[in-house]
Amino acid sequence: MSVSREPVRILQFVGAMDYGGIETWLMHLLRRIDRTEFQLDFCYTKPSPGAYAPEIESLGGRMVPCPLSRNNPLGFARRFRSLLRGGEYDIVHSHAHHFSGFVLRLARQEHVPVRIAHCHNTSDGKGSGLSRGLYHALMRRWIWRHGTHGLAASEDAAQALFGSNWRSDARFRVLHCGIDLEPFRQIVSRAEVRSELGIPVDAPVVGHVGRFVPQKNHGFLLEVAAEVIKLRPAVRFLLIGDGPLRPPMEAKARQLGIEKSVVFAGARSDVPRLMLGAMDVFLFPSLWEGLGIAFLEAQTAGLRCVVSEWVPAEATIFPERVERVPLSGGQRNWVSTVLRALENGGLHRVLPTDRVAESFFSIARSAQALHEVYRNAVQRAT
């Protein structure tokens, strides 16, 4: 007689489940996961659970609030430990960069057997002063002491969070985030997409996808855009994303006199469709990146890509269509590289999904790798 087993209960620790690279990857995992084997809940610390919350709940997940205030970490600790006791979780999987050290410490105190720190970036973007350095050192120490596993989106991300000797410990490994290839196999009407966005069907379009936060370097992007538009007035720039810096960036576009040539599309759930239907070249001048999921998507859409040197080299799938330009060289090199990419032809009409499917960056392979981490970790803990 077979004995039924309860699903492994996993708590994903996030800020909120809004449209973004990490969050979209987690949603791909949730949609594909065997819910008889794994139960995924999401602990969020921001005031709103995020745009993905309704779908998470429709798929059987729970959104669990645990407000976080910098001025009251003990209050957060009490709330978090309480929800761990109530949830009876087998795994806590934290995506909170250095703060994962505190999360895993609390999880260990509540006897959660599997505690995973997952690094998706090479910086938390919160400065590098003395107090911040001490905080980073303490959190890294707690990750090493209280974590049972450490995952990273790239080797650069692993070194940033786990330290330069991360390879010496079998608990730590790189697990690339994957993307869903099906939307890139769809037939998309270029005329329809561009009409929705108010972009002429024959205009050359340079696109960008990213939250409006310092990391994505939108101010520099708009300065490059202004120079490109001076030389080629027909070019349009399409910026997808939202965030705290969007209003000042809209004001900067007006200041530069390019507001009619820049489309601020906001946060979107149909990024592959917009890449296929509207963009010719993808521009990604990030100040730091753990991997760059939007960069992976742009390559999958067949776009020529112009990216900064801070995007990990291992994220390059099609080097023949990627140009790396150092930020230290200033605008001129970026402007000439973007213009050259537009002249060489933007969208590669033979979509490269087959090559992506064979790489580590397909969601099927990424999900399989994470499920194996979960299974093996739980087996060793029991």
Q: Quick check: 22 and 95 in contact, CB under 8 A?
A: yes
The per-residue pLDDT for range 291-306, each reduced to its tens digit, is 999 999 999 999 999 9
- Report, as an integer, the average pLDDT of 193-208: 97
Which H or E element spans position 91? strand 91-94
More confident of the two residues 329 and 376: 376
With a CB cutoff of 8 Å and minimum separation 6, the contacts of 222 are 237, 249, 252, 253, 256, 258, 262
Q: Residue 381: pLDDT band by 50, 70, 90 thresholds?
A: confident
- Report, as an integer, the average pLDDT of 339-366: 81
Domains in the chain with CATH codes: 8-178+362-381 (3.40.50.2000), 182-357 (3.40.50.2000)
The chain-wide mean pLDDT, for the chain, equals 94
Packing angle, helices 218-231 and 331-343, rounded to 10: 60
- In this prediction, residue 344 carries a pLDDT of 85
User: Which runs of consecutive H residues, i.e. helices, occur in 119-236?
Assistant: 130-146, 155-162, 190-197, 218-231
Q: What is the DSSP string of 16-40?
A: ---SSHHHHHHHHHHHHS-TTTEEE
- 300: exposed, middle or buried (Cβ count in 10 Å: 0-12, 13-18, 19+): buried
- In this prediction, residue 2 carries a pLDDT of 44
Distance CA 128, CA 130 (A): 7
Smallest Cα–Cα separation from 304: which of 342, 335, 332?
A: 342
Percentage of the chain beyond pLDDT 90 is: 87
- Report, as an integer, the average pLDDT of 155-159: 96
The per-residue pLDDT for range 275-287, each reduced to its tens digit, is 999 999 999 999 9
The per-residue pLDDT for range 224-266, each reduced to its tens digit, is 999 999 999 999 999 999 999 999 999 999 999 999 999 999 9
Smallest Cα–Cα separation from 163: which of 186, 147, 176?
A: 147
The per-residue pLDDT for range 4-61, each reduced to its tens digit, is 578 999 999 999 999 988 999 999 999 999 999 999 999 999 999 999 999 999 999 9
Q: Quick check: 175 and 369 in contact, CB under 8 A?
A: yes
**Token pair recorded at residue 281:** 């070249």
Helices then strands, each counted (H, E), the chain: 14, 13
Which H or E element spans position 54? helix 53-58
Instruction: Report pTM.
Output: 0.91
Q: Residue 199: pLDDT band by 50, 70, 90 thresholds?
A: very high
**Token pair recorded at residue 184:** 């890139």
Q: Residue 348: pLDDT band by 50, 70, 90 thresholds?
A: low
- In this prediction, residue 350 carries a pLDDT of 56
Distance CA 194, CA 40 (A): 37
- In this prediction, residue 351 carries a pLDDT of 61
Q: Quick check: 338 and 354 in contact, CB under 8 A?
A: no
Smallest Cα–Cα separation from 154: which of 142, 146, 162?
A: 162
- In this prediction, residue 346 carries a pLDDT of 56
Distance CA 95, CA 116 (A): 9
Residue 1 clears pLDDT 70, i.e. is over it: no
Distance CA 92, CA 98 (A): 15
Range with lowest mean pLDDT among 97-111, 114-128, 135-149, 204-218: 114-128
- Report, as an integer, the average pLDDT of 61-70: 93
Q: What is the DSSP string of 225-285?
A: HHHHHHH-TT-EEEEE---TTHHHHHHHHHHTT-GGGEEEEES-S-HHHHHHHH-SEEEE-
Q: Residue 170: pLDDT band by 50, 70, 90 thresholds?
A: very high
Smallest Cα–Cα separation from 113: which of 84, 95, 91?
A: 91
Distance CA 291, CA 310 (A): 9
**Residue 106: DSSP 8-state:** H
